[in-house]
Structure 1
């Protein structure tokens, strides 16, 4: 059930489609005001300070989420949780008002929303209690006009008629509405509310990321640099790339983090030798060609997108057998160090 401003937005028996409910939310004055307030917050830049790991130095205990991942964190163990690099993707926050338990996901496809929400809620919503859950949706933009950018024609790449963001946002709203839990929508910085236009009318997202302060539930725009997108950055990026070919992850968010003991537990993902050949081919492409081949929003990506993709290609070329990365199909484990960083076990 979806609530806005303390009141249910739709009747529990309503059979309206996700797209209709989404439009009602986008036009709701309470959420328009909340979005304007969110946009006025200065963007926070998250970075691991140089010298971290030295005696006496500490860093903020944070958990970073990559695309198609989720993590549920305990405010007693983690100070910040967030994600970035979202263009057509949507970041979803669900926080229990009573316990402060907070789950964050980086949704990239309507196909993972049903099961993905169940994964998020498994540790946030106690079935024995009538939990009140705060929800924030940030990311996605009006991406349907991207085929006109830079003179690239529709025939040069696959374009979804509705774009990628709108079907994803519609599905999220549809599933939230159908579930029995009480979801209080607090922030809705998506689609038109998260779109800017250049002088030629081309569209781009205003925000690509956010961070949640777990003690208060405050959500702020944020970017993370490479030092803070940890641990195991490249392997986690590869999981996003190859998980579509691993049937064990069909329709699911990627398991990443152990809530109870504050450690990263990078669940295994397999890939076939084809990926090595494919990586060889992609590595030979120019930077603009990689953007067109590997992104749903090639003109809205960050400046390090191509470099990140090339590092993924290099790893797949050097490690064609997934069992070298996940021996005996066991997860890769990282414990929190005394200074707040991560140590591989």
Structure 2
């Protein structure tokens, strides 16, 4: 069952979600409570994270950072914050068990990883033998005309109860800022929404805030993890899956071995001879919305 602001949505039949934009999705996009929460989120002060700023209010908080195509499920007794950024046409998905506080955050960059990815997220958030009340936040995916934008119709949100395979799972949508709610990148005012594509979630309170991370907090093993994202594109063992980096049970980061194919090595070597503008246009799904360090970050691991 899908709820918004304490009220059940009228159409949540999962069989209807793949037939274009469903009634449930239209209701989400037009719901006054979700429109209000989107505006409120855009107006929140951005959290800045840097290990170099020891005076920061959050310098001693335990942060779990999630890169593109990664997910992490955290226990609030072990991690204070979980965050991700660098999302433009990607989506950030947060699922939190209201009863236990267990929270999973994913950076979804392809529709191919949605089905298995949500199962991965739910496996540690929900006990299949118990009822669950889930709080969900969805952010990202500009309503651009580019054919590279893949989640025009994020029906997966209303599929979470079906994915969990329990009729008594209640999903409460707290934030839904994507697709039609995100203006095309070329329109005036679109960049005003960019801050909410960089997010941080406070695990103890269930509070979502805009965030800004730098190289010192996109860790650990930033370069290795960026390389693994690229390698996973042509690694069959990762087909349809999110990349796990953080082990919830041991409270440790574990990065599985990976290697580039000969073709990926060729592409990386070719990019070394491209200009910054060429790299931006060839490697980004949203060149006009990338952060200033996008090209620099890519050059660091190619």
Structure 1 residue 208 and structure 2 residue 197: aligned?
A: yes
- 1:259-282 Cα deviation digits (max 9, x unpaired): 112110112233222222221111
CA contact (8 A) 1:48 1:59 kept: no
CA contact (8 A) 2:46 2:211 kept: yes
Say which of 263, 266, 280 aligns to 1:274.
263
Matches of 2:13 and 2:61 in 1, distance apart?
45
CA contact (8 A) 1:143 1:203 kept: no
Range with bigger deviation, 100-109 or 270-279: 270-279
Matches of 2:13 and 2:267 in 1, distance apart?
49
Per-residue deviation, 1:66: 0.2
Q: Name the larger-Rg structure.
A: 1
Matches of 1:102 and 1:229 in 2, distance apart?
19
- 1:212-248 Cα deviation digits (max 9, x unpaired): 1111111101111111000000111111112110000
Report SS of the residue matched to 2:172. Answer: strand
Per-residue deviation, 1:191: 2.7
Matches of 1:245 and 1:86 in 2, distance apart?
22
Correspondence for 1:309: 298
Structure 1 residue 184 and structure 2 residue 172: aligned?
A: yes
Say which of 265, 284, 288 aligns to 1:299.
288
Structure 1 residue 175 and structure 2 residue 159: aligned?
A: yes
Report SS of the residue matched to 1:308. Answer: helix
When residues 11 and 23 of structure 1 are mapped into structure 2, their CA distance, relative to the original with a 3 A threshold, is: closer
Report SS of the residue matched to 1:78. Answer: coil
Per-residue deviation, 1:176: 2.6
CA contact (8 A) 1:113 1:175 kept: no
Matches of 1:171 and 1:231 in 2, distance apart?
33
Say which of 219, 222, 225 aligns to 1:236.
225
Correspondence for 1:4: 4
Correspondence for 1:105: 106
Per-residue deviation, 1:255: 1.1
CA contact (8 A) 1:97 1:134 kept: yes
Report SS of the residue matched to 1:275. Answer: helix
Correspondence for 1:84: 85
CA root-mean-square deviation = 2.2
CA contact (8 A) 1:42 1:221 kept: yes
Structure 2 unmatched runs, 5+? none
Structure 1 unmatched runs, 5+? 53-57, 145-158, 314-345
Structure 1 residue 166 and structure 2 residue 152: aligned?
A: yes
Range with bigger deviation, 175-184 or 256-265: 175-184
Range with bigger deviation, 14-23 or 70-79: 14-23
TM-score by length of structure 2 reads 0.89
Matches of 2:114 and 2:31 in 1, distance apart?
23
Structure 1 residue 66 and structure 2 residue 49: aligned?
A: no
Per-residue deviation, 1:141: 1.3
Matches of 2:14 and 2:222 in 1, distance apart?
43
Report SS of the residue matched to 2:216. Answer: helix
Correspondence for 2:17: 17
CA contact (8 A) 1:143 1:297 kept: no
Matches of 1:276 and 1:125 in 2, distance apart?
40
CA contact (8 A) 2:12 2:158 kept: no
Where in structure 2 are the equivalents of 1:119-198 lying within 5 Å?
119-144=120-145, 159-160=146-147, 163-167=149-153, 170-176=154-160, 178-179=162-163, 180=166, 181-195=169-183
Correspondence for 2:76: 75
TM-score by length of structure 1 reads 0.78
Report SS of the residue matched to 1:160. Answer: coil
CA contact (8 A) 1:134 1:186 kept: yes
